[in-house]
Structure 1
Amino acid sequence: MIAPTLLGHVGAVSGAAISVRQFEGVASGIAIIGGRSYRVGQVGSFVRIPQGYHDLYGIIAEVGATATPEAAENLSSRGERWMTVQLVGEIVETAFERGISQYPAINDEVHLVTEDDLAKIYGTAEKGQVVIGRLAGAESIPVRIDLDRLVTRHSAVLGSTGAGKSTTIASLLRAIVHSPSGKSDFPSTRILLLDIHGEYATALKKIAHVFRVSPSDDEKPLFIPYWATDTTELLAFLMGKVSDPAFASITDRILAKKLQLAKGGNFDGVDVNSLTFDSPLPFSLKQLWFDLIDPEIKTWKENTQINSAVQKAGDAEKLIAPIYPLPGQGNTPPFANKTGVLSIRRQLDQMRSRLLDRQYDFMLHPGDWEPAVNDEAKKDLPELLDSWLGTEKPISILDLSGIPSGVLHHLVGGILNILYEALFWGREASEGGRQRPLLVVMEEAHRYLGKDADGPAKAMVQRIVKEGRKFGVGAMIVSQRPSEIDDTILSQCGTFVALRLSNAGDRSKVQSALPDSLSGLMDSLPVLRTGEAIITGEAAKLPIRCRITLPPEDARPSSEDPKVTQAWAKPKAKEDYVNLSGPWRAQNPKWKHSKKGT
């Protein structure tokens, strides 16, 4: 008796790809099995090839003329139909394993995979797995991913605008934090989300602390102390290009400041013998600027340069330079300064401008982490790391929506540098990366991880994806333009969650990062529904088309499209366009009009 699940027979085997000659009895394209209807020979669906005590499983990659083996093309006139299947795994006894231990033989039967078969693969709950959705073709089967591999082997969530990336991220993070029962299976979860557009504060407010440049009542101020970031990048941002001798002189001053501070013995772990200008110790930028500007403008009463010609002392705290008379002509006093001159007057003017620019206060004037002119700060690195990583809520959202785009590269690089260096050097501590790993989610990654980008953000992400696995730092790259992301970074991602991708260049970039045997599955990317994804890689048992579980209405990111017809159908109300100019000037979308005089 012919089994109702029979699809056809193996006609040719070539490595992991097999050609299947379709059975004539299923020519209708639909099979009714156990009261359920199944599409026969649908690209992306699974097949089962019995092999005695175990079964091989594969994915249909091609159907029709292109799937016909070259040697059998002359038989197509007889009505034979063919499919190409890529082998992906097997069930030995009761456990599913990726990879295959043997190949099928010619004329072996190939069967439809029913929901009962899928339940054997996906239906068994194992420790360390989280449920993120349901199989697109079998809604009763939950899709689970391996949390260990998702974090340590890195991942990428990719999809065009409107495909559901933000909702997928919100759903995925909620699934990690809360199991379907509502109780957390992972109470020590530690996730940090870099939110470029400010979309997630509302969606994750119950399970996350939000840090924002202009915080509301239930948010915390975002500070990134400049002295904990890369000093070379900091000076490039503050001063632009300087000559090598000038750079060496400036970093020598910074090192001297840090040495002086370190000798006080107030900083744990500091060794004056291994201290560098990059060591994360506070130093005052205001005092540094004051110390550098003085030699550039200084004049002397005598040519011996003993008595200063200063007319008015400056103020480092207020960034006011001292006033000197201009040097005289020839041997006429006052005399120009000849000691410590670096010829960086223009760069120091830019540095002062940066320090006075309020939009950079979150970094250059970081609250209690800003050192006074004596280089002492009220708060240190432990308090900063504790506020980001040690909170009672499992997720910290760093809302970067109010950050000037010109400083985004430096800022993201600085944040990642602080996190990675702390978890790397403290990896053996209970708070370190190996004992309590960290997942860093990077939204809109193409903005700072592009192929042509050459900044600290890209360098740090490359370091994390190459080395982070060993030290408990995982990366999740989120982007709508995978074709623009650096190849090294994308190739290190072990798991891909690919939502709808319409652009051919983006699709080819994702396909090139996957094994050849799975590239055919990605041909369905342009026709995925919103919130539907193809999940492949380390964290998934099998490449699968999944319907991501939607969060509740009040817990979705604020990234949905405006309802145009509904908005335009309303009667036009009285408008006040201060409500547009005010938030723009305040760089805060939550700014409210005070309505003075009303």
Structure 2
Amino acid sequence: MMHNATYMGSVSSVSSSSIIIELAESMGSGIVIIEGKNYRIGQVGSFIKIPIGYNQLYGVTSESNESSTHDVEIIESRSRRWIRVELIGEMIGGEFDRGISEYPSIGDDAHIVVDRDLKQIFGQPTAGQFTIGKLSSSDGIDVSLDLDRLVTRHSAILGSTGSGKSTSTASIIRSIVTNNDDVRLPSARILLIDIHGEYESALGDIAKVFSVLPDSKNPLYIPYWCISPENLIDFLCGNISEAYKTLYLDKAIEEKKKAIKTNNIKDFPTESVTTSTPLPYRIKNIWHELYYDDTVTWKEKEHINAAYAKDGEGDAENLIPPKFLPPATSSNPPFKGGNNLVKRQLEQMKSRLLDSQYSFLLKPGPWTPDKDGKIEKDLDQLLADWLGHDQPITILDLSGMPSSRLSLLLGSILDILFESSIWGKNLKTGMRNRPLLVVLEEAHRYLSKKEDGLAKQMVQRIAKEGRKFGIGAMVVSQRPSEIDETILSQCGTIIALRINNATDRGIVKSAMSEGLAGIIDSLPVLRTGEAIIVGESAKLPTRCRISLLPPNKYPNSRDPAVTASWTQDRTPENYEALVSAWRNQEITKEEK
């Protein structure tokens, strides 16, 4: 009886992993009632099964009644309905596995997959899985993802503005580490790059939040001396000649060598110091020395004594440049020494060093070398702050970071993390022993095809090599068409929410197998918070309703309440606090 109840048609064509099923005449209504539940026949994304001996082949409907092949034309000539199905897995002895070991034959029966079958496939989450929501077609079936594959093979969460992307991201992260708000993975390491300051409200109870904003509870510091000097000097000075760039690097190396002794750094020979060695150096001293070299004049032709103006030696610590007597004409002193070629660039460098927007980088708190080159805290304490605290999640709130420098500064964070994963891979504190998932919000801003900054270079490196060292990436974006294809192609799991733009849908299609194109075509009609999930961490290509967050745990990304705001009575307004916040580059707390 059950055989007849679930029978939907027979296989009429087999091609690679794609088959065509000719529907039985009894399927004319398009709806079948089995065990009191309605099942729609031929709906894109629905599952079918084909019994073959002891095996059960499973597939997902990718298109219906679309005359694109010779086989379809034959079927249509008989005035019969058909569906195209992509084979995705099989069940042998009650165990479901991706991939198929044998193909169906022409004439094999195809059956509707009922809830009982789905429960067998999806089963109960094992120790390596976590539940993220419910199957859209059956709200009694939990959808789980494989945590190991999600992290090590990378993932992407893609969706247009308003599709529930931020809320779904927060829900998935919360689902990874908690079960009914109880932390189930106390040693998890998830680091979330929060570009707009949205996630503290959603995850603050299970996260430690660092912010670049002034007066934050946990200030975010990125010591400039951890950044590649080649990249840093471009940020500080803009366009500068290779000769002066080399001079800067040489001075940085000498400063780093001094820091070894000043800070009592053991087991590191000075001859091993390079420009990329993460050792502290006094950047103000380098600025002062470069200024000296560029503007100096001499009392003698032999360049023995500098011809300082009155009180002109300057002060590196307070960024007061040295001043010299102007060179005289002919053979009279003072004699010209510097070429005055980079004074403009050094003034720009000074303005950067004084700019409060960059204090988290250029005045990194206890990681700032004092006038003697000594630091209060070293890199081990920085990593302990970011990764070694008692919460499973770290949020780096970069909402006050200038957009023009986001790539360099974010790239520097990733550089610190990736280098520590390489050199610590055999240590207990390393990422191979305790892996790290890096969640990259608003990824299109710094991972675009046109971008060539440090952030993109580092994410590409993590995407290609991160698995070896225990770092996984989760790319979150509303514009997948703008993300570098190399990065997106390395994402083994795609979680696609509603995507309205055809170009963006095309990119998502290209990141998936060709046969699933029909499923991706349904992206514009997905409900808010609903996603199509395909890839290595998912058992099946699945249409899923992401779990709702607790009422007080939503990201701070809600739409403004236009109607409610505009219908209020107009009252006098004072913009003084707004201008003060603007001038101080400080986002204030919400007014009551």
User: Which TM-score bucket, shorter chain as reference?
Assistant: over 0.9
| Residue 308 of structure 1: aligned partner | 306
Matched-pair identity in %: 50
Out of 562, 565, 573, the residue aligned to residue 564 of structure 1 is: 562
Out of 478, 482, 491, the residue aligned to residue 493 of structure 1 is: 491
Give the residue type in structure 1 aligned to 2:23.
Answer: Q
| Residue 383 of structure 2: aligned partner | 385
Between the aligned partners of 1:464 and 1:132, the Cα distance in structure 2 is 25
**Residues 391-447 of structure 1 deviation map (CA, whole Å, 9 limit, x = unaligned):** 111111111110111110110110000111112111111110100000000000000
Whether 1:205 aligns to 2:208 is no
1:159-558 equivalences in 2 (<5 Å): 159-180=159-180, 182-214=181-213, 219-263=217-261, 266-268=264-266, 270-311=268-309, 312=311, 313-337=313-337, 343-558=341-556
| Residue 153 of structure 1: aligned partner | 153
**Residues 28-66 of structure 1 deviation map (CA, whole Å, 9 limit, x = unaligned):** 111100111111110111101111111000011111133
Q: 1:334 to 1:577 in 2, by over 3 A?
A: same
Between the aligned partners of 1:133 and 1:171, the Cα distance in structure 2 is 9
Between the aligned partners of 2:340 and 2:23, the Cα distance in structure 1 is 80
Contact 2:186–2:391 (Cα < 8 Å) also in 1:
no
Between the aligned partners of 1:547 and 1:66, the Cα distance in structure 2 is 32
Give the CA deviation at 1:72.
Answer: 5.2
Give the residue type in structure 2 aligned to 1:325.
Answer: L
Q: Structure 2-normalised TM-score?
A: 0.96
**Residues 448-482 of structure 1 deviation map (CA, whole Å, 9 limit, x = unaligned):** 00001011001000000000001000000000000
Give the residue type in structure 2 aligned to 1:85.
Answer: V
Q: 1:65 to 1:190 in 2, by over 3 A?
A: closer
Between the aligned partners of 1:586 and 1:364, the Cα distance in structure 2 is 17
Give the CA deviation at 1:194.
Answer: 0.5
Contact 2:155–2:473 (Cα < 8 Å) also in 1:
yes
SS of the equivalent of 1:553 reads coil
Between the aligned partners of 2:9 and 2:587, the Cα distance in structure 1 is 60
Contact 1:8–1:109 (Cα < 8 Å) also in 2:
yes
Q: CA RMSD in A?
A: 1.7
Contact 1:246–1:342 (Cα < 8 Å) also in 2:
no
Give the CA deviation at 1:322.
Answer: 1.6
Give the CA deviation at 1:245.
Answer: 2.5
Between the aligned partners of 1:130 and 1:567, the Cα distance in structure 2 is 40
Q: 1:115 to 1:269 in 2, by over 3 A?
A: farther
Q: 1:592 to 1:4 in 2, by over 3 A?
A: closer
Between the aligned partners of 2:184 and 2:589, the Cα distance in structure 1 is 38
SS of the equivalent of 2:111 reads strand
Between the aligned partners of 2:477 and 2:72, the Cα distance in structure 1 is 43
Contact 2:262–2:373 (Cα < 8 Å) also in 1:
no
| Residue 596 of structure 1: aligned partner | none
Between the aligned partners of 2:149 and 2:493, the Cα distance in structure 1 is 8
Contact 2:225–2:281 (Cα < 8 Å) also in 1:
yes
Between the aligned partners of 2:353 and 2:392, the Cα distance in structure 1 is 34
Q: 1:72 to 1:409 in 2, by over 3 A?
A: closer
Give the CA deviation at 1:75.
Answer: 4.9
| Residue 76 of structure 2: aligned partner | 76
Q: How many corresponding residue pairs? A: 589
Give the residue type in structure 2 aligned to 1:500.
Answer: R
Between the aligned partners of 1:542 and 1:457, the Cα distance in structure 2 is 33
**Residues 214-256 of structure 1 deviation map (CA, whole Å, 9 limit, x = unaligned):** 2566x31111110011211101101122222222222111111
Whether 1:9 aligns to 2:10 is yes
Whether 1:140 aligns to 2:140 is yes
Between the aligned partners of 1:471 and 1:257, the Cα distance in structure 2 is 31
Which piece of structure 1 moves more, 250-259 or 265-274? Answer: 265-274
Give the residue type in structure 2 aligned to 1:89.
Answer: G
Q: 1:171 to 1:72 in 2, by over 3 A?
A: closer
Between the aligned partners of 1:459 and 1:80, the Cα distance in structure 2 is 54
Q: 1:140 to 1:271 in 2, by over 3 A?
A: farther
Contact 1:442–1:475 (Cα < 8 Å) also in 2:
yes
| Residue 112 of structure 1: aligned partner | 112
Give the residue type in structure 1 aligned to 2:408.
Answer: H
Between the aligned partners of 1:471 and 1:162, the Cα distance in structure 2 is 35
| Residue 95 of structure 2: aligned partner | 95
Which piece of structure 1 moves more, 523-532 or 372-381? Answer: 372-381
Give the CA deviation at 1:568.
Answer: 1.7
Whether 1:125 aligns to 2:125 is yes
Between the aligned partners of 1:418 and 1:133, the Cα distance in structure 2 is 34
SS of the equivalent of 2:384 reads helix
Uncovered stretches (5+) of structure 2, i.e. residues with no partner: none
Between the aligned partners of 1:564 and 1:337, the Cα distance in structure 2 is 65
Give the residue type in structure 1 aligned to 2:213.
Answer: S
Between the aligned partners of 1:331 and 1:591, the Cα distance in structure 2 is 65
Whether 1:21 aligns to 2:19 is no
Give the CA deviation at 1:187.
Answer: 1.4
SS of the equivalent of 1:204 reads helix
Q: 1:277 to 1:216 in 2, by over 3 A?
A: closer
Between the aligned partners of 1:342 and 1:510, the Cα distance in structure 2 is 53
| Residue 37 of structure 2: aligned partner | 36
Q: 1:75 to 1:521 in 2, by over 3 A?
A: closer
Q: 1:406 to 1:104 in 2, by over 3 A?
A: same
Give the residue type in structure 1 aligned to 2:515.
Answer: S
Give the CA deviation at 1:116.
Answer: 0.6
Give the CA deviation at 1:268.
Answer: 4.7
SS of the equivalent of 2:125 reads coil
Q: 1:215 to 1:291 in 2, by over 3 A?
A: closer
Q: Structure 1-normalised TM-score?
A: 0.96
Contact 1:21–1:82 (Cα < 8 Å) also in 2:
yes
Give the CA deviation at 1:537.
Answer: 0.4
**Residues 469-507 of structure 1 deviation map (CA, whole Å, 9 limit, x = unaligned):** 010000000000000000100001100000000001100
Between the aligned partners of 1:487 and 1:184, the Cα distance in structure 2 is 35
Q: 1:476 to 1:72 in 2, by over 3 A?
A: closer
Contact 1:579–1:592 (Cα < 8 Å) also in 2:
no
SS of the equivalent of 2:468 reads helix
Between the aligned partners of 2:300 and 2:353, the Cα distance in structure 1 is 34
4+ residue stretches of structure 1 with deviation over 3 A?
A: none
Contact 2:75–2:82 (Cα < 8 Å) also in 1:
no
Give the CA deviation at 1:136.
Answer: 0.4
Q: 1:353 to 1:162 in 2, by over 3 A?
A: same
Which piece of structure 1 moves more, 264-273 or 523-532? Answer: 264-273
Contact 2:67–2:73 (Cα < 8 Å) also in 1:
no
Between the aligned partners of 2:237 and 2:334, the Cα distance in structure 1 is 29
Give the residue type in structure 1 aligned to 2:19.
Answer: I
Uncovered stretches (5+) of structure 1, i.e. residues with no partner: 594-598
Between the aligned partners of 1:37 and 1:386, the Cα distance in structure 2 is 55
